[in-house]
Structure 1
Amino acid sequence: MPVDVSTDIVIAVPRDKVAAYAGDPSNAPRWYVNILDVDWETRPPLREGSRIGFVARFLGRTLRYTYEVIELVPGERLVMRTAQGPFPMETSYTWESLDAYSTRMVLRNRGEPRGFANLASRLLTAAMRRANSNDLRRLKNLLETGRH
């Protein structure tokens, strides 16, 4: 059963600043609760074809996977994909200016779980929705308070 979770938040910071911070994989451990480590497999800066390794903790398991950037429109959209593990997934960020001082960010995860992950797709969807909401709230707090 496919999983498709889309979560959004409004951040009282201009779009270019939100996109620059959230779109830099090196910052992911600061605002994603479950991401423990990031390792650039290709040299920065981020561009289409960049490969970034992540170590994450999700539902009690440590996961290692590599995302490849498949689309990048600076300040507007970032799409990354992994085909590894029991849960091949695509993650996308989009940023939209609501006015000169606020940004709507959408975080979307979609994929086709395999094996046990497929059987637990309803649980995965609920857990991802919760985690994404928490992560976006954490990002909002970091950016709006300047503690990033």
Structure 2
Amino acid sequence: MGVDVVTRIEIARARAEVSRFAADVGNAKAWYANIRSVEWRTEPPLAVGSRVAFVAVFLGRRLAYTYEIRELVPGERLVMSTQQGPFPMETTYTWADAGPERTLMTLRNRGEPAGFKRVGAPVMARAMRRANEKDLARLKRLLER
């Protein structure tokens, strides 16, 4: 069983502002509670092929992984993936207009755990959903103040 977690939130800010902030890896620690450090592995700015290393704590475990940017459409979509960590993972951000000066942001995490981790996929998906909901709420608070 794979993990596929989709969370959404509406933010009372223009799409360009929300996407610029969320796609800036330098802001990850400000709105992702579990991210402990972020380090560029390639030269900025963010582009297809860029690599960024993250250290996070999830379910009580320290995770170190490097995301590679797979797709980047400024203001619309960012797709990044890693083959490291607890299992290969793809993270997608999308942004859409939700009215004047309002943005619908979608955060999707999906992956296919292997071996023993496959048994824990449902628990991991529930924990991931809770964490993503909290992170998006934190992003909303940051951008709406």
TM over 0.5: yes
* Residue 91, structure 1, aligned to residue 123, structure 2: no
* 3-state SS of 1:20 partner: helix
* Residue 126, structure 1, aligned to residue 126, structure 2: yes
Q: 1:47 — aligned with what?
A: 47
Please report how far the alpha carbon of residue 85 of structure 1 lies from its aligned counterpart in structure 2 after TM superposition. Answer: 3.1
Q: Distance in 2 between matches of 1:14 and 1:133?
A: 20
Q: 2:35 — aligned with what?
A: 35
Q: 2:8 — aligned with what?
A: 8
* Structure 1 residue ranges without an equivalent (≥5): none
Q: CA RMSD in A?
A: 0.7
> Do 2:63 and 2:86's aligned partners in 1 also have CA atoms closer than 8 Å?
no
> Do 1:6 and 1:108's aligned partners in 2 also have CA atoms closer than 8 Å?
yes
Please report how far the alpha carbon of residue 92 of structure 1 lies from its aligned counterpart in structure 2 after TM superposition. Answer: 0.3
Q: 2:63 — aligned with what?
A: 63
Q: 1:18 — aligned with what?
A: 18
The residue type equivalent to 2:26 in the other structure is: S
Identity, in percent, stands at 59
Count of matched residue pairs: 145
Query: After the TM superposition, which segments of 4 or more aligned residues of structure 1 sit over 4 Å from their partners?
Result: none
Deviation per residue, 1:117-143 (Å, 9 max, x gap): 211001001000000000000000000
Larger deviation: 107-116 or 56-65?
107-116
* 3-state SS of 2:6 partner: strand
Please report how far the alpha carbon of residue 100 of structure 1 lies from its aligned counterpart in structure 2 after TM superposition. Answer: 2.7
> Do 1:117 and 1:124's aligned partners in 2 also have CA atoms closer than 8 Å?
no
* Structure 2 residue ranges without an equivalent (≥5): none
* 3-state SS of 1:38 partner: strand
Q: 1:144 — aligned with what?
A: 144
